[in-house]
Structure 1
C-alpha cells in the first residue's frame, strides 16, 4: 500500500464509519433478551442487501429509511421477535445513532488542517441530518451528500462522482473512508485514495479496487495525512 498525498477533501461513509450501526440494538440489550448482537448483524446485512437489490431491479428505489425498516422487520422475525413497541424503539434510536468516540476530534483536526470534509452515504437526507445533529458534528462538515439525489445506491460510480462534482476536484484529490470493504473497493476503483476503516478485522473483499491504507479506527487519519 502506498502513501496518501495531494488530498483536498476527506469524505466519509456514514453508517459503520462515523456512526455506530449497532448502537440502537445495544441500547436495548435487556429488552432484546440478549439477541441484540444477532439482531444488529442481520439488520445491517439486510439493509445493505436490499439497497443493492433494489438498485439492480431497476425502478424499485425507495429511501433508505424504508430499506432500514424492511431490514429490521426481517431481522426481528429471524431472531423470533414480534413486538411493535420494541420495533418502534429500535427505529427511533436509529435517528440518533452514537458516533464513534474518536470522530469529533478527528473531524476537527482535519478542518483545522484546512481540508474539506463531507459525508457520502446511502442514508436519506432526513436520516443523515438526524444522525449529524444528534452527534454534534455538523459544524465540522462542509457537505452531507445522499444517494437520494440519484435514486439508486452505492456502489454505482455515479454516486462517488457526486463528490468530485460538489468540490470540483479530481478523484485522486479525495481521501475516502469507509468501514465497508465493498464500499472501500468501489471507491478505490473509481479513483479515490481510500482508507478502509476495518474496525472488526474483516478479510479484504475480492473486488476490483484496493484501499491504500487499512485503519483500525479513524483516530489514525489526521496523522496519516500529515496533520
Structure 2
C-alpha cells in the first residue's frame, strides 16, 4: 500500500522529542497525589518556562544545556506555586529523565522503518538527557539517529539547529518530514525547508499562517493514515 502524503515523497522522518514522542507532563503526573491540586498548573508553568529560557538564550546568542534550563524552570515553577512541597524537586527531575512515550510511538516508528524511511530525533535536549529519555522509553531500536542541538550551540528555531538532521542523515531537507507537537517548532521547520507535520493533540488554534504545516494530525499514528 502506498504511503500517504507527504511520506510518499520523503526519505527521512525527523521527530521532536519533548511533547511529540515523550509526554512532558508525565513527570508531574507521577507525583500528582503528593503535589495536590496545583499539579497541572505546576506542570504547565515548568514547561512554559523551560521553553521560554531556550528562546531568550538563543535570541541573546547564548547557549546552556537544556537540562540546566529544565532545572531552572522547575525552580521557577515551585516558586510560583509555593503550596507544592519543594522536597519533591529531586523526584520530579528524576521523572523528567524518564518521561513516558505516547502509546502509539513505538508502533509508528517501527512501521516507518519497515517502509524504508530513516527515523531520527532532533531535540533541544542535550545528549545525556536524550540518551536517558530514549532508553527509558524503550525507543533505541526504532531510531537511526538521536540528535541534540548541542553541536549547533543554539536551540530551535535556529536554522543551524535544523541543519544538523540533513547533515547527519544524508537526506536533503526537501526529502525530510519533520514532526512536532509544538507549533513554533513547525514554523521553524517550515522556514528551514522541511515538510512539517503538526501533531495537534489538544486542538490548539493555528498560528504563523505564513509558515504552515503540510499536514495536521491528532496523534503520531495519523502519519500513516
Q: Same fold (TM over 0.5)?
A: yes
Shift of 1:208: 3.9
Stretch of structure 1 that moved more, 98-107 or 145-154: 145-154
Query: What is residue 126 of structure 1 aligned with on the other side?
Result: 128
Shift of 1:149: 1.0
Query: What is residue 56 of structure 2 aligned with on the other side?
Result: 53
Shift of 1:81: 4.0
Counterpart CA distance in 1 for 2:40 and 2:182 is 18
Query: What is residue 21 of structure 1 aligned with on the other side?
Result: 24
Where does 1:1-227 land on structure 2 (aligned, <5 Å)?
Answer: 3-4=5-6, 5-59=8-62, 61-81=63-83, 83-206=85-208, 208-223=210-225
RMSD of Structure 2 on Structure 1 (CA): 1.4
TM-score, length of structure 2 as denominator length: 0.94
Q: Deviations over 1:78-114 (max 9, x none)?
A: 1114644200010000010000000000001011111
CA contact (8 A) 2:120 2:143 kept: yes
Counterpart CA distance in 1 for 2:75 and 2:164 is 31
Residue correspondences, number: 221
Shift of 1:166: 1.1
Structure 1 residue runs without a partner (length 5+): none
Q: Deviations over 1:154-177 (max 9, x none)?
A: 100111111111122221100110
Structure 2 residue runs without a partner (length 5+): none
Q: Deviations over 1:137-192 (max 9, x none)?
A: 11010000101112111100111111111122221100110000000111011111
Counterpart CA distance in 1 for 2:209 and 2:92 is 33
Shift of 1:6: 1.4
Runs of 4+ aligned structure 1 residues displaced above 3 Å come to 81-84
